[in-house]
Structure formats: C-alpha cells, structure tokens
Amino acid sequence: GAKSNGRGTVCFYEAAMNASLQNRRALEMGLRQALVRDEFLLHYQPLVDARTHEILGFEALIRWAHPERGLVAPSEFISIAESCGLIGEIGRWTLRRACLDARSWPGQVKVAVNLSPVQFKDRQLVEAVRAVLEESGLAPERLELEITESVLLHDSEAVLSSLHRIKALGVQISMDDFGTGYSSLSYLRSFPFDKIKIDRSFVRDLPHDTNSVAIVRAVVGLSGTFGISVTAEGVETSEQARQLALEDCDQLQGYLFSRPIPAAGIPELIGRLADAAPSAGAVADLGV
C-alpha cells in the first residue's frame, strides 16, 4: 500500500544519500592524496585577438589524473575542494605551475589563472601571488587572475581590498562567466576589473539570436566606457567569431581556435594558429 511505498522511497533516498556521502568522502581523500602524489595537471586554452586571431595568452585549466578514473574535469572536484578546505593548496599549486610554465612562452604571451572565491578568505592570498611572481620571475603584467562575480557577494570590502592590492602588484583582474551570476552592471564601476569574459551561454546562439547580439553589444559598450576589455568565451564557429569581431569584442576563446591542451603542445599550437590567422586583407574583408 501507500505506506510501504512511502517507506521504500525513504529507504531509497537514504541509500542514495549514503552513496553520495561515501562518494564524497572518497573524493575528499583522493584529493588529499592527489596533492601528495602530484596528480594534478594543467591544460591551456588560447585567448586570441578578435580581429587578427593572434594568440595573446592562455588560460590554465586544471585536470586531475586519477589513477583509476583517468582525467577528471574541474567541475567534478573544485566545489568539493572548496568545501573541504583543500582549494587553498590546490589553488597555490595551480598558480605556481602556471607561472612557471608561462616563463617558456614568447615574451608577450599572458597566462590566465582561475581563482576560487574561497581563496579570498585566505589572508595570505596577496602575499602568495607576490611570492609566486618573485619565484617564477614572470613579469606581473603577464599574469591575469580570473574570478567570478560570486566573489563579490560576501564581504566585498575585504575582497575589494585584496583586488586592489593584487592590481598594485601589476597583475590584471578578469571577471569570468559574466552574466551567469547575480551580475550587476554596476560591478563594472565598483570593482577594478581589467577585463570581463562574456559567458559562453551568450555566445552559443550568435549570430542569429537578436537577444544575444543585444547583450554582447551592451556589455561591449559599457565596458568600453570604463576602459575594460572584453573576451567572449565558448566560440565554436567562424560565424560567431566574425559577429563578435564586428561587435568590437577584444578577445575570443573557444574550441574554434583550440581545445585546452597540455603545456607541451603550446609551441606547435602557436605555429599552427599563426599560419591560420587571417591576413590583413581577410580582416578587411570582415568589414572590421
């Protein structure tokens, strides 16, 4: 009857919860071991000039080389690392690895590193950034730190102070995934961003979807008045790339140019994209 069905449902939920709790505990333990066993690695995805498609930088994207599961994506472990207190150590590893890798790239090519909002609770964050720059010898102007707008929701005085101190080091700050959170265009005025990255959900339906075009246009327009540069994420087709260049986006990132790749593939990728970049004539043909 209904009663036993209800009970069965409860048992089912309990079992599922236990399974997910166990899964979570296993992940936590695995993450601790991963730090010790050096199982994290970075892949890099190019950021290109929207008009010339020249490579301007690379975003570092973490992966976990799990001994049994193979490469694990950040969406499967970053939020757990954030809630179990491991994101600080993982974040410091990422920042250091990325700065060391970037030293061997051509002189003006930048490296972008994602920072978790949780890392802003660490009072040593700014000092850690300074120390990594010193150790690696990377010019501060070549480092960009990407943060999402959720970082601005809590204790924004403290976050603002950290952002200003990071900028005082000469490092650039980018707002990531713009438009997905509790975005307020007023953030652009209140916080010291050098760049905003339009989330790929606004790029997906370009060039045909008039709402997406309007959003891109508004963001580019307002950013321009604040002197903030604009990158579009998730560019997969040449039609999207063309539209974004016409709308005066500064930089593009997406599978059209390259998927994220291991650091070892960067020299070859730089050569390949240089060959594929549109000539000055082709850029003129875009009407840009």
User: Please, what is the minimum distance in Å from the beta carbon of residue 87 to ligand C2E?
Assistant: 6
Residue 40 vs 105, nearer CB to ligand C2E: 40
Judged by beta carbon distances under 5 to 8 A according to partner kind, the member of ligand C2E, Mg ion, none in contact with residue 45 is ligand C2E
- What is the phi-psi region of residue 38: left when phi exceeds 0, alpha when psi lies from -120 to 50, beta otherwise? left
DSSP 141: G
Alpha-carbon radius of gyration of the chain: 21
CA distance 179 to 200: 9
**Region binding ligand C2E by CB under 6 A among candidate stretches 47-55, 206-214, 220-228, 254-262:** 254-262
Question: Which residue in the shown chain puts its C-beta closest to ligand C2E?
Answer: 254
Q: Which of 101, 144, 149, 176 binds Mg ion (CB under 5 A)?
A: 176
**Region binding ligand C2E by CB under 6 A among candidate stretches 27-35, 68-76, 163-171, 242-250:** 68-76
User: Please, what is the minimum distance in Å from the beta carbon of residue 101 to ligand C2E?
Assistant: 13
* Binding flag, residue 177, Mg ion (CB under 5 A): yes
Strand 70-72, strand 251-252: pairing: unpaired
Contact 186, 225 (CB under 8 A): no
Q: Count of CB atoms within 10 A of residue 56's CB?
A: 20
Residue 126 vs 147, nearer CB to Mg ion: 147
**Strand spans (E) along the chain:** 40-49, 55-66, 70-72, 110-114, 143-148, 172-178, 195-198, 229-232, 251-252, 261-262
Helix axes 156-168, 125-136, angle to 10 degrees: 20
* Binding flag, residue 199, Mg ion (CB under 5 A): yes
Residue 9 vs 83, nearer CB to ligand C2E: 83
Residue 91 vs 207, nearer CB to ligand C2E: 91
18 backbone dihedrals φ, ψ, rounded to 5° = -60, -40
User: Please, what is the minimum distance in Å from the beta carbon of residue 81 to ligand C2E?
Assistant: 8
Residue 101 vs 233, nearer CB to ligand C2E: 233
> Which residues between 156 and 215 bind ligand C2E (CB under 6 A)?
176-177, 200
* Binding flag, residue 114, ligand C2E (CB under 6 A): yes
The DSSP element (H or E) to which 281 belongs, if any, is helix 280-285
* Binding flag, residue 145, ligand C2E (CB under 6 A): no
* Binding flag, residue 243, ligand C2E (CB under 6 A): no
Q: Which of 39, 49, 65, 74 binds ligand C2E (CB under 6 A)?
A: 74
Which of 228, 249, 274, 227 has its CA nearest to residue 109? 274
* Binding flag, residue 88, ligand C2E (CB under 6 A): no
CA distance 246 to 218: 13
| Contacting residues for 29 by C-beta, under 8 A, at least 6 apart | none
Q: Which residues bind ligand C2E (CB under 6 A)?
A: 45, 61-62, 73-75, 78, 91, 94, 114, 116, 146, 176-177, 200, 233-236, 253-255, 260
